[in-house]
Structure 1
């Protein structure tokens, strides 16, 4: 059949042009120019072990003849000051149960200023001591995100640290997740908060989380209620009073409040739904696969904690963390039984050498990490050395010509 030119042109517009447009718009990235762009959590911030240890220099401390068990502790001795390992410890401080006093949610006016945190600093008060009854892991939680990969914590901003002076002291952990990723209930519980915090105080200041959801778990720990807070979230799927089950979608990853990029901020609060009652979530979220967790104590002989000290765990993989910082309101708390002041989470099994330097003296200790367990280690340093004051500089008298 012979098609005249006008008919052919109309046939092209009706058939071939729509097909070409559909192929154009279905290409990858088409139409994305109108969507908001958000910076993702950098890959370097996610907990991945490095291959080569970057540890402080080793000391001449003798290696124990037997590998410590996960529940045993090891005391590292400085080469400069040999001493006995037995020290007097203060009695364990029990966490008080919450009172019936109504919580003041009024926004502080003016907003609080960021404190100055002292690193490589010896705390003024003795640190709590471990419960002599021992410790049983409370890895109760299921994964807070449903992803194809395992949940990874931001290792550069762990609980009790300020990200190298960039942020406020961290009362939880951050988990990478794209905007709109469903967030799951980590355990069975009841929704007690599902709202914004623009006009009510749930964090360090108002508008700290943007939007938050808080669960009170069905199961208590040592007779105290356990709360789990999800911060910087959007699109609530549940309401206050709803009962949820582990793994149920409750909200989505968002961005707001103090967050600069989409991610999930997760807190564990023990005894009350207060910003001052948090615990380290790395001791509640199960480690990945066959991994374990190291919980340590870094103290002086009188039991005072060293704050903001960089700590390296070198073994089958290498991990870096920091001992807990403190602030004027003492927002950071250890586990009531472990009394730790540093945690290395999600550690591959094997024997690890714990390395650090305090006041120019290098220390080491050894710990064995076993799958699904919390391994403990304690390092007691030499007593604090008061810096020797330097005499004031004096002017050199001018020479007589």
Structure 2
């Protein structure tokens, strides 16, 4: 095992284009990639013991025929990123989030926006833990309680992870299972099978509903999983603040994202409701992950006018855009954002 300072020097030699030595004042584990910021881990509690960080286990990602492997977790190219989580469906299977029912979407027949992403997979496909942690719920009744078999989540598992974010516990939810293979209180590791894809609960076909929750005290808020699941090594993430002339969000608006290399077009819709929880830094109301690196055009129609803007996606990076009717699209100015430092996952 190499000493930490030797691993740190090796990391700098390997990634000179990504790191700025003036900003680095500490030595970090080699399994994490950071850039352009000083990172100060903050422990939970004040026990007086030396800080000990426990990171998610980096599971092996086999190279698949349909796309490259994922970056190792946890991964953070930018100072405000938190790609802490693996995919709940193995990379050997197609595991894109379903494009027509992303986080924040709302269908006409439902009374609330979607609180996670749905990942399509055949019946019986293994569902995997997205990070190390402990099972805190397993069975029916996640929403309705009491083991209610009419619960919209169907058979579900909740994992409370061994790492936190900004003083809040991090949990993931896996729903619509065919069967559950773990028990409450059981410890699991990244990539461990916890159940199988099914059609229990409110679902129109086999898939896993995947949620990310931040919990503090007895309350929790959901977050967009596309900003927490580690991307493929050739892909990045688009986020955007789409606002009207008064500074309010434009809800349920269709946008088109076109690759200028391949010609492929993605249709993405802004969050359906102003109350949909946003990332504390990016404050997005639109997110689109797993975009292959390259040049893109985003476009929309608003008040009988067509707006277009070209931008670039880089591997492992989040590209933030902003839109207003007066200025059209532009790269987002996030200088006034609230949380100003990336936080390492901290052992609980």
TM-score by length of 2: 0.65
Query: Larger Rg: 1 or 2?
Result: 1
Partner residue in 1 for 2:104: 160
- Aligned mate of 1:200, from 144, 150, 159: 144
Q: CA–CA distance in 1 between the matches of 2:213 and 2:243?
A: 25
Partner residue in 2 for 1:220: 164
Q: How many residues align?
A: 244
Q: Which runs of 5+ in 1 are unaligned?
A: 1-133, 384-401
**Secondary structure at the residue paired with 1:292?**
strand
Partner residue in 1 for 2:272: 325
- Aligned mate of 2:289, from 345, 370, 389: 345
Partner residue in 2 for 1:311: 255
Cα RMSD for the two superposed structures: 2.5
Q: Does 1:148 align with 2:92?
A: yes
Q: CA–CA distance in 2 between the matches of 1:370 and 1:344?
A: 13
Partner residue in 2 for 1:381: 325
Q: CA–CA distance in 1 between the matches of 2:85 and 2:214?
A: 14
Structure-to-structure mapping, 1:129-148, within 5 angstroms: 135-146=79-90, 148=92
Q: Which runs of 5+ in 2 are unaligned?
A: 1-77, 328-348
Q: Name segments (4+ residues, structure 1) moved above 6 Å.
A: 273-276
1:352-401: CA deviation from partner (whole Å, max 9, x where unpaired): 22111122222223321001111110111249xxxxxxxxxxxxxxxxxx
Q: CA–CA distance in 1 between the matches of 2:217 and 2:156?
A: 12
Contact conserved, 1:298 with 1:381, CA < 8 A, in 2? no
1:136 CA drift (Å) = 2.4
Q: Which moved more, 1:357-366 or 1:317-326?
A: 357-366
Partner residue in 1 for 2:241: 297
Contact conserved, 2:214 with 2:220, CA < 8 A, in 1? no
Partner residue in 2 for 1:281: 225
Q: Which has more strand, going by share of residues?
A: 2
> Alpha carbons of 1:147 and 1:363: their partners in 2 closer, same or farther (altered >3 Å)?
closer
- Aligned mate of 1:169, from 96, 102, 113: 113
1:235 CA drift (Å) = 2.2
Structure-to-structure mapping, 1:66-85, within 5 angstroms: none
TM-score by length of 1: 0.57
> Alpha carbons of 1:192 and 1:198: their partners in 2 closer, same or farther (altered >3 Å)?
closer
1:254 CA drift (Å) = 1.3
**Secondary structure at the residue paired with 1:259?**
coil
